[in-house]
Chains A and B, each alone.
Chain A
Amino acid sequence: MELFWYIVLMTMLTIYVILDGYDFGAGIIHLFFAKKEKDKKAITNAIGPFWDANEVWLIAVGGVLFFAFPTLYASSFSGFYLPLIIILWLLIFRAIGLELRGQINNTLWHTIWDKAFGVASLLLALFFGVALGNIVRGVNLGNVVNGVSTHEGHYFFLPLWNTTFSPQAEELGIIDWFTLLLGVIGVVSLAIHGANWIIFKTNSDLNTKLKKVIFNLNFVLLALVIVSILVWHIIEPKPFHNFIDKPWLFIFPILTFTGLFGLFKVKSFKKDGIGFVFSSLFLFGGITTTVASIFPKVLPSTNTVNPSLTLYNTAADSYGLGVGVYWFAIAAVLVAIYMFIQYKVFKGKMDDIGYGDH
């Protein structure tokens, strides 16, 4: 039962990253490449009717985490207190940037909200990458000092950074060079992902340029991924033991690299949606590879006093998890129907169906 909900949760998380990821990416592209009003319009129209529903995946992930793994929810949300609240603030800025921009027709007003949307998207991508890094690196569960826990073994608290920015320091911070590396991977990969979405959903003049951007960024991404694999074993001495035990797990890294290498051919794709498929593969593979490498841990402990949090020691009681399956199955079908309708109505290029001009 725990395993079922773990898979559900991870699936929902990946869906969230793939969906809201293109919104963040569109924001990053907007920040750096959209100079003309026409381009800005194209970008916001590409995500217009979708981003709100995409964000609900985050709320749903939070809800399912709360319900199925309450101890993990409590421990990680209070331990990562500051970055989470900052993420909330950024989400607010991104949303009002998108929603309020069109309310008043004034260049100054537009500039403010364009920047709010772009900068918030960039920082969100960075923070989500950093979050992934923190989970891989682990935390000092129980805030152990000199071999003694100062809190219950599943609670901790991390400041935003410590002075050394080192993932191996005695006192860890949320941001260190390792988590920052994953943060940058987050920004670059989502920028690529967002660019692919824009190409897919619009006839914008930007598209040719964006293909070049994707091509170039992909080299950066490849380099970053290689570096991260090289330094991974500093953080986790046996990063591949799960893969060696269960070789079928290699499917995940293979998917990652398929996505990554596939994107080098971005300039010769026949259909505009293909790039998006490849960047989705990359994200899917990247997340699943990461969580598979620490499985069954969900939050590793960096000390030897308190055990790591796993999906088994953080799960809710079995009766609750059992009844949850029933309503969840119904809800999942409904959600699939809504998404089908939504993407069916807004099928094809947004400018072809006249979305956004009213």
Chain B
Amino acid sequence: MEDMLFYDRMQFAFTITFHYLFPQLTMGLSLLIVYFKWKFLRTKVDTYNDAAKFWMKIFALNFAMGVVTGIPMEFQFGTNWAKFSELTGGIIGQTLAMEGMFSFFLESSFLGLFLFGEKLLGHKLHFLTGFLVFLGSWASGYLIIATHSWMQHPVGYEILENGKFVLTNFGALFSNPWLLPSYFHNQAASLVTASFVVAAIGAFYILNNKHSNFGKLFLKTGVIFGFFASVIVAVPTGDLVAKNVVKYQPATFAAMEGIFKTEDGGSEIVLIGQPNILEQKLDNKIAVPNILSFLTYQDWNAEIKGLNEFDKSVHPTNIPGLYYAYHIMVGLGTIFIGLLLFAVVQLFRKKLYTTKWILWSLLFMLPFPYIANTMGWYTAELGRQPWLVYNLLRTAEGASPTVSSGNTLFTLLGFIGLYLLLGLLFLMLAGKIINKGPELKNH
């Protein structure tokens, strides 16, 4: 029984982590492509249109990966989490079905027109189809986060005697206090990913002395969008999601921050340290006093509850994992803001394109927004454990009762193999597109 659950969890974690590598670029990049196209309509400078076209190629490839890895997600609630689906389907089924009906149809109907219809439609309509694809992908993110928010902070439900959750208030799903901060945080974070990707390719072209005018455009766009997005990720949105966690999941917050014991006279903020679960303390700690109390409650001396105040049965199951995930995300976020600030300053001093160390840093930063996004989701999901629906339904109670571990391990191995192949193909083909570069005018 125990390892049956283990493989179900591994499979879900693996497939969703892989899936989310793609939508995070889709959502951010669709905005940037719409921006390029809009600039072209305004200025009629061909470079913008060619830039949009170039990114559309990467977008198409990335989108295809997102679609093929997304469909398994939708099925897995039923295949691996049957009990969870049976009990809560009347509620989370709402938002998931809405996602299919409202956003996936929108995206997929107009994607074909967007990718192949430029000549057929003319530039204005082409811009419109791009905008609709953008809208679809952001709506998709919204409805998924609405689903996820309900699992983190259930609202508008009633539990029947047979354990079933029934919806009592449809509107509550969308006025869930967890939803909007989480949504904007997530969307800003996906824009961070897209901006870094665009900037990194720009830096690559400049360092390589190839397609330099595109390199400059990409670099400039990526750096500016990336800077604003990175700031928004931290304040107000990161701050707001963290406050939600303090309010609704205080034990999770204590574990995220590595606070084992409530401290008198304000909590310090931990920069580095290793959680030591045996002795319930942090080893090798470097911390700044009172900052955490201030950030959380705008009061230097406010009390933040430590893990010692909560019963062991509600402690997150994987405290070190949660702590590291959170600190990696926040640490990277800080680095992003710092680096992009330098880049923006150099841009305004008209020195960005020649400041080698920034170009190299931006190039090497490419994987890190992906890591930060993934760590953010691990923070959310590990923080919710041992619950599937916070405080109401335990993960162990949600798995499929009849699917044995042998079968789950079989499909998990299959997914690992298949996704490895997909990942390799993606890198190879994306590399080819990038290497070829934006096509210069040929008509």
Contacts and interface: CB of A to CB of B under 8 A. Distances in A.
Contacts of A152: 401
A121 B203 CA distance: 42
B102 to A, nearest CB: 5
Given A53-B108, A331-B98, A85 B414 contact: yes
B101 A84 contact: no
B440 interface: no
A328 B99 CA distance: 11
B181 interface: no
B345 to A, nearest CB: 39
Interface string B134-169: 000000000000000000000000000000101110
A125 B71 CA distance: 18
A134 B70 CA distance: 26
Given A78-B79, A99-B64, A66 B400 contact: no
A49 B60 CA distance: 13
Interface stretch (B112-120, B205-213, B278-286, B385-393): B112-120
Nearest to B87: A70
Contact of B100 (A50, A59, A68, A316): A59
B407 to A, nearest CB: 6
A162 to B, nearest CB: 16
Interface stretch (B88-96, B217-225, B256-264): B88-96
B78 A74 contact: yes
Contacts of A68: 93, 97
Interface string A325-347: 00110011011001101100110
A143 interface: yes
Contacts of A78: 78-80, 82, 400-403
B59 interface: no
B67 interface: yes
A151 B402 CA distance: 8
A323 B89 contact: no
A349 to B, nearest CB: 15
Interface string A98-120: 01100110000000000000000
A82 B86 CA distance: 19
A63 B99 contact: yes
A346 B403 CA distance: 44
A345 B117 contact: yes
B104 interface: yes
A18 to B, nearest CB: 16
A81 B407 contact: yes
Contacts of A85: 72, 75, 79, 411, 414
Contacts of B113: 49, 341-342, 345
B402 A327 contact: no
Contacts of A316: 89-90, 93, 166
Contacts of A66: 74, 77-78, 85, 89, 93, 96-97
A15 B36 CA distance: 37
A355 B116 contact: yes
Contacts of A103: 61, 429, 432
A220 to B, nearest CB: 31
B86 A70 contact: yes
A331 B72 contact: no
A48 B402 CA distance: 40
Contacts of A348: none
Nearest to A60: B100
A168 B79 CA distance: 25
Q: Range of interface residues on chain A?
A: 35 or more
Chain A residues touching B, majority SS: helix
A100 B65 CA distance: 10
A338 B105 contact: yes
Interface in A35-63: 48-50, 52-53, 55-56, 58-60, 62-63
A290 to B, nearest CB: 22
A81 B104 contact: no
A48 B105 CA distance: 16
B99 to A, nearest CB: 7
A358 B68 CA distance: 25
Nearest to A54: B108
Contacts of B94: 67, 320, 323-324
Contacts of A200: none
A76 B78 contact: yes
B347 to A, nearest CB: 34
Contacts of A358: 116, 119
B37 interface: no
A68 B105 CA distance: 19
A320 B167 CA distance: 6
A5 to B, nearest CB: 10
Nearest to A62: B74
Interface string B392-409: 000000001111100100
A169 interface: no
Contacts of B100: 56, 59-60, 62-64
Contact of A48 (B78, B112, B401, B429): B112
A22 B143 CA distance: 30
Contact of B120 (A89, A157, A345): A345
Contact of B108 (A52, A75, A88, A91): A52
B287 interface: no
Interface in A121-165: 143, 151-152, 154-157
A96 B168 contact: no
Interface in B389-443: 400-404, 407, 410-411, 414, 418, 422, 425, 429, 432
A190 to B, nearest CB: 19
Contacts of A99: 60-61, 64
B170 A89 contact: no
A53 B112 contact: yes
B106 interface: yes
B101 A96 contact: no
Contact of B71 (A79, A88, A100, A151): A88
A240 interface: no
B111 interface: yes
B403 A53 contact: no
A145 B272 CA distance: 57
Given A77-B78, A143-B402, A316-B166, 12 more contacts: A50-B112, A53-B112, A58-B71, A66-B74, A74-B83, A74-B85, A88-B72, A95-B67, A100-B429, A157-B404, A320-B93, A335-B105
14 contacts: A59-B104, A63-B93, A64-B101, A66-B74, A77-B85, A81-B400, A88-B75, A103-B61, A104-B429, A157-B404, A319-B167, A320-B93, A324-B94, A342-B109
Query: What 7 A-B pairs have minimum CB-CB distances, sorted nearest first?
Result: A70-B89, A77-B78, A67-B93, A63-B97, A316-B90, A49-B112, A78-B82
Interface of B: 60-61, 64, 67-72, 74-75, 77-80, 82-83, 85-91, 93-94, 96-102, 104-106, 108-113, 116-117, 119-121, 164, 166-168, 170, 400-404, 407, 410-411, 414, 418, 422, 425, 429, 432
